[in-house]
Amino acid sequence: MAISGGSRLPATHDFVFPRGALVMGVEPVLRFQSAEERAKGLPVQQETDKETGLLVWSVLVIDQAAERKTDAVVTVKIAAPHQPVPPEAIPGTDVRPVVFDGLTVTPWIDDKACRGSHGGERHRCRAKLGYSLRASGMKPVVVKSAAKAA
């Protein structure tokens, strides 16, 4: 099979966010720093994208189609030389609707809830499929005005 683990699968914004997405904030993704590196006083560095070498930014997003509260807040990573700027908020609100360009999905196994067998217990696997989202950029939602009645 030509699809290997960690593959970034292309997806449209409307497929991933069918009811839209709202930006809450943007911040740099920092590289993991070991205790030894911290003890040496080494500065924390920003993560770079493995494919492009660009800096990686984390965009915190509310998925308006989420069925559960716990699934409503997701992160979309954007590789860019400078911090991406979220669209302007709708006047009088803090709501920032957004459309992501070049969206990709990378499936992965979230096995944090998987319990091994202890003292004769059966293995209980509550692992689930997780998704890592990346985009090449973001832009404001363009609202199409309704045609005026004649």
pLDDT at 137 over 90: yes
Query: Residue 101 — φ and ψ, nearest 5°?
Result: -95, 150
Higher-scoring residue by pLDDT: 52, 112: 52
Weakest mean pLDDT among 13-22, 66-75, 83-92, 115-124 = 115-124
Name residues whose C-beta falls within 8 Å of residue 90's C-beta, 6 or more positions apart in sequence. Answer: 96, 97
- Residue 75: Cβ-neighbour burial (10 angstroms; 0-12, 13-18, 19+): middle
Higher-scoring residue by pLDDT: 104, 118: 104
Domain ranges of the chain: 9-140
State the pLDDT at residue 130: 80
Q: Report CA-CA distances (Å) from 81 to 25, 121, 144.
A: 17, 51, 31
* Alpha carbon distance, N-terminus to C-terminus of the chain: 57
pLDDT at 118 over 80: no
Report pTM.
0.78
Instruction: Give pLDDT tens digits for 26-54.
Output: 999 999 888 888 888 888 899 999 989 99
pLDDT at 14 over 90: yes
State the pLDDT at residue 10: 93
Query: What token pair was written down for 71?
Result: 């699934």
Q: Could you give the CA distance from residue 125 to residue 99 in angstroms, rounded to a whole number?
A: 36
Is the Cβ–Cβ distance between 60 and 23 less than 8 Å?
A: yes
Long-range contacts of 124-131 (CB under 8 A, 24+ apart): 131/105, 131/106, 131/107
Higher-scoring residue by pLDDT: 36, 121: 36
CA-based nearest residue to 111, from 127, 93, 132: 127
Q: What does the radius of gyration of the chain's CA atoms come to, in whole angstroms?
A: 20
CB atoms within 10 A of CB 66: 14
